[in-house]
Amino acid sequence: MATYAEMREIYDEIRGDFRYDHELNGCLNCGVCTATCPSAQFYDYSPREIVQLLWTENVEQIYDAMQEKIWACAQCMTCAARCPFKNSPGGLVMIMREVAIKHGMQSAKDVLRPFGRVMLKLITTGNQLSPDMIQPDHFPDWGPNIQKVEGDLKTLRKAIPVRTLQTVETAWEVSLKTSVEMYTIWEMTGVLAALEAMDENLFDVIEDFIDEKREEYDDWLEEQEDD
């Protein structure tokens, strides 16, 4: 359990985010946000509660909400569209999630674990989803009709009449230069550092991949110069 000073520090970080004053303008406790919230129908989660905790600077319960509740939000932003004060509870939740990541909270690590494949794909290729990730055996609950024409995935993708989409391991073909530019963005914005703090094994795999791709790109550049 964190000390009060640690919890206060976490709150101050949330409060210090430049978006905070966009997302929280007051609260009438009207509950429109919760009434319209999909997650409130399924979880012990209320956007009104999140707003109230922040509005009243209840640092202990803010910390408590960051252990689980904030991860229930579906990020649909219905709350933001409805709020008469122009608050964005969903936006506040994102700030809280980012701070949870920065502080290496266990809740964030738990959430990230099933997200590993998406993360690996995204960081290394610049695509979040690929055809080979959504094969019938990965999602048996999607039923037997998930693919209406039998056939080899590569051939089915080749039958898409758009050149960039004839891929299996990425949603579209991303040029090597583009991916390498993306790695620079990840590094310079602290995304890779956050990932390392969250999941060291995943980070190691990603780092190796990035090194390999950069070498490949450097080789290609040298080849161009030689030509």
Partner 1 sequence: MSENTNQGQGIAGHGSFFQDTNLSRDDALKATDWVRKHVDKRTIDLGERMDDIRDHMWELEKDGQIIVHRITDLHEPVDVTTLFGWNKRVPTTKLWHHKSCGQCGNIPGYPTSIMWFMNKFGAKPGEDYLDETDQTSCTAWNYHGSAIGNVEALAAVFLRNFHQAYVSGKQHGFELGHFFPLVHCGTSFGNYKEIRKYLVESAELRERVTKILGKLGRLVDGKLVIPEEIIHYSEWLHVVRNKIASEHQTIDVSNIRVTVHAACHYYKMVHEDAIYDPEVMGGNRTAVGTSMAKALGAQVIDYSTWYDCCGFGFRHIISEREFTRSFTMDRKIRVAREEANADVMLGIDTGCITTMDKNQWIGKAHNQNFSIPIMADIQFAALACGADPFKIVQLQWHASPCEELVEKMGISWTQAKQNFESYLKEVEAGNIEYLYNPELALGGR
Helix/strand number for the chain, H first, E second: 13, 0
The answer to the question of residue 220 lying near partner 1 (CB under 8 A) is no
Residues 189-218 that bind partner 1 (CB under 8 A): 189-191, 194-195, 198
Residues 30-69 that bind partner 1 (CB under 8 A): 36, 38-39, 41-43
The answer to the question of residue 80 lying near partner 1 (CB under 8 A) is yes
Answer for which of 32, 35, 118, 205 binds partner 1 (CB under 8 A) is 118
Cα 215 vs. chain centroid, distance in angstroms? 28
The answer to the question of residue 100 lying near partner 1 (CB under 8 A) is yes
**Nearest to partner 1 of 115, 220 (CB atom):** 115
User: What secondary structure letter does DSSP report for 42?
Assistant: T
CB half-sphere exposure, 128, CA atoms < 13 A: 1
Please tell me the distance from the alpha carbon of residue 25 to that of residue 36, in angstroms, as a whole number: 19
Please tell me the distance from the alpha carbon of residue 219 to that of residue 46, in angstroms, as a whole number: 53
User: What secondary structure letter does DSSP report for 213?
Assistant: H
Contact yes or no for 108/198 (Cβ under 8 A): yes
**Nearest to partner 1 of 54, 198 (CB atom):** 198
The span of 48-56, 57-65, 130-138, 213-221 binding partner 1 (CB under 8 A) equals: 130-138
* In the complex, least distance from residue 87 CB atom to partner 1, rounded to whole angstroms: 13
Contacts of 33-37 with CB under 8 Å at 24 or more apart are 33/78, 33/79, 33/82, 33/83, 33/87, 33/89, 34/79, 36/78, 36/79, 36/82, 37/78, 37/79
* In the complex, least distance from residue 99 CB atom to partner 1, rounded to whole angstroms: 9
* In the complex, least distance from residue 76 CB atom to partner 1, rounded to whole angstroms: 4
**Nearest to partner 1 of 11, 45 (CB atom):** 45
**Nearest to partner 1 of 30, 81 (CB atom):** 81
Answer for which of 32, 35, 74, 205 binds partner 1 (CB under 8 A) is 74
**Nearest to partner 1 of 19, 56 (CB atom):** 19
